[in-house]
Structure 1
Amino acid sequence: MQAVDQLQYSILASGSSGNVTYLETPEHKILIDAGLSGKKIKELMSSVGRNIEDVDALFVTHEHSDHVHGVGVLARKYGMDVYANEGTWDAMAKKVGKIPFEQKNIFGADTTLDFGDMDIESFTVSHDAAEPMFYQVHHDGKTLCILTDTGYVSDKVAGTIRNADTYLMECNHDIQMLRAGSYSWPLKQRILSDEGHLSNEDGANAIMSVVGNQTKQIYLGHRSPENNLRSLAHLTVSTMLQEHDFGVEHDFYLHDTEPDQATKLSSL
């Protein structure tokens, strides 16, 4: 495979049932989260013309099953290194099973890892997990930022991730659908809390707080199949951004993601 001197990526899956993002540079191929089975992740990789055996590292955001379901299998079968902070390692231990010691790496929150020709920056979020954090990946002056699974976006986080080239931003639920839906009241309260998930409106507000002149692509992610619709999430975000004079489909573009279908392999 001929190397391309760019940061390339595909959001292999994004949703309440599983989350996986693939990124590559000339030197490295990585996954951020592995929330589906190893078999399904391999299939999604193949759908964008990539081989799971070429991945050399896996970065974990937090221990919830829709982010770690395939972590142990991938680590054991393909020998990839796994990176997570200490709280997440402790919390996901039983879920991922035994991983060889030499493949386990501690990556603290709010730090930047020099990983060959990419810099991987972690930042803390507000979610009901042990030590949740997400990542933005920098390569050759370009940045891709992933931000899902947070109840709100703090000023600190917004400042950290401002003006990335590409975002994967959470639009988990429509508030009215969630309130009227079949979930138990405690679960609804959890999702709506400051340690829950961003609604469509929250996602739009988060985008408006971080988008900059460099921003070209925004992917709407982690959509709940019970409490949201793809068309509703897209319309809500697009409408709110346009109402605030943001150049949707002109200065930058909005894309949808799916829980079982990869986005096309794209370059920054």
Structure 2
Amino acid sequence: MQEQNDGLKISVLASGSTGNCTYVETADHKILIDAGLSGKKIENLMQSIGRDLSDVDSLFVTHEHSDHRKGVGVLARRYGMDVYANQGTWDAMASKVGKIPMEQKNIIAPDSVLSMGDLDVESFTVSHDAAEPQFYAVHSGGKSFVVLTDTGYVSDHVEGVIKNADAYLMECNHDVEMLRMGSYSWPLKQRILSDTGHLSNEDGADVMMDVLGNHTKRIFLGHLSQENNMKSLAHLTVASIMEDHDFGVNHDFKILDTDPEKASGLVTL
């Protein structure tokens, strides 16, 4: 039987402090959001979900940090895909991604919507210690998916933009006590805990309680620190907080783990 192409399909190929990459597919488009691993690793992750990088037409970059742009130049040159980022991010990563043909370099401005046939990509600015960080909400066929994994806090404006999506990849970077008691230097701890750092497990839960709606069926917990968090702890913390506030965890929606080395299954929203 031929596979149905209808609907918005997603897979979190990798998420964590060592590398991030998310795959999104519609009937007419196949895109990546970030490429923070080697080209070879991304190729293997794509193969693990039955997809081929040669079919990807566009790559959207959130910011210039290595765990989000490491493979950008390689993928652009090897596969000829269009690369989208805002001007600040292009300027900041220019020396790190190597030469990319001008015709493949595209600007997607902050707080804008790029329409690509059956797929709309909406950018929104976040508070992170990068040149001009922005993340993306993708929309197709009445379905939407939000990627938000590097921000110190989430503004009311951003919450309005991302409200009631069908699925989220939401940052739960650290457990605050693990971070405070851990081996990181005090300046690094301060950076992570700041308004331009990363969301904790509790922060991620708080954001989800503000934005979750009746369309929301999946919450992927993303960008977990390998030093300052654990999958089981992040999952338990978010689920417990939401249950304590009478949200229907495992009834109205599912909370799902992600991995820095293993892709989540390809799902249709």
User: Into which bin does the TM-score normalised by the smaller protein fall?
Assistant: over 0.9
Q: Report the counterpart of residue 168 of structure 2 in structure 1.
A: 167
C-alpha deviation, 1:199, in angstroms:
0.2
For residue 201 of structure 1, what is the amino acid of its counterpart?
A: E
The one-letter amino acid paired with 2:205 is A
Question: What's the counterpart of residue 207 of structure 2?
Answer: 206
Identity of aligned residues (%): 69
Q: TM-score, normalised by structure 1?
A: 0.99
Aligned AA (1:241): M
Cα distance in 1 for residues equivalent to 2:7 and 2:163: 21
- AA of the residue aligned to 1:168: L
The SS at the match of 2:59 is strand
- Structure 2 residue runs of 5 or longer lacking an equivalent are none
Alpha-carbon distance in 1 for matches of 2:187, 2:95: 25
The aligned residue for residue 133 of structure 2 is: 132
List gaps (5 residues or longer) in structure 1.
none
How many residue pairs match? The answer is 268
Matched with 1:14 is 15
Please give the per-residue CA displacement for 1:154-189, whole angstroms capped at 9, x wherever unaligned.
111101100000000000000000001110110000
1:41 aligns to what? 42
Report what 2:81 is aligned to: 80
- For residues 203-235 of structure 1, give each alpha carbon's deviation from its aligned partner in whole angstroms, at most 9, with x where no partner exists: 000100100011000000000000001100000
Retained in 2: the 8 A contact 1:3–1:26? no
In the TM superposition, 1:1-268 aligns within 5 A as 4-268=5-269
Paired with 1:234 and 1:95, the residues of 2 have a C-alpha distance of 34
Matched residue of 1:113: which SS? Answer: strand
> C-alpha root-mean-square deviation of aligned residues, in Å?
0.8
- Confirm or deny: 8 A CA contact 1:126 1:151 kept in the other structure: yes
Separation (CA, whole Å) in 2 of partners of 1:260 and 1:2: 27
- Report if the CA contact (8 A) 1:34-1:70 is conserved: yes
Q: Write the distance in 2 (CA, Å) between the matches of 1:230 and 1:248.
A: 17
Q: CA deviation at 1:64?
A: 0.3
- Tell whether the 8 Å contact from 1:136 to 1:145 is kept in structure 2 after alignment: yes
**What CA distance in whole angstroms lies between the structure 1 residues aligned with 2:140 and 2:245?**
31
Q: Secondary structure at the match of 2:120?
A: strand
In structure 1, give the amino acid aligned to 2:236.
L
Amino acid at match of 2:71: G
Q: State how far apart, in whole Å, the 1-side matches of 2:240 and 2:124 are.
A: 29
| CA distance in 2: counterparts of 1:3 and 1:217, whole angstroms | 21
Helix, strand or coil for the counterpart of 1:137?
A: strand
List, as ranges, runs of 4+ consecutive aligned residues in structure 1 with deviation greater than 6 Å: none
Q: CA deviation at 1:148?
A: 0.8
Q: Hey, what's the Cα distance between the residues in 2 that align with 1:171 and 1:149?
A: 9
| Post-superposition offset of 1:116 | 1.5
TM (normalized to structure 2)? 0.99
Moved more, 92-101 or 3-12: 3-12
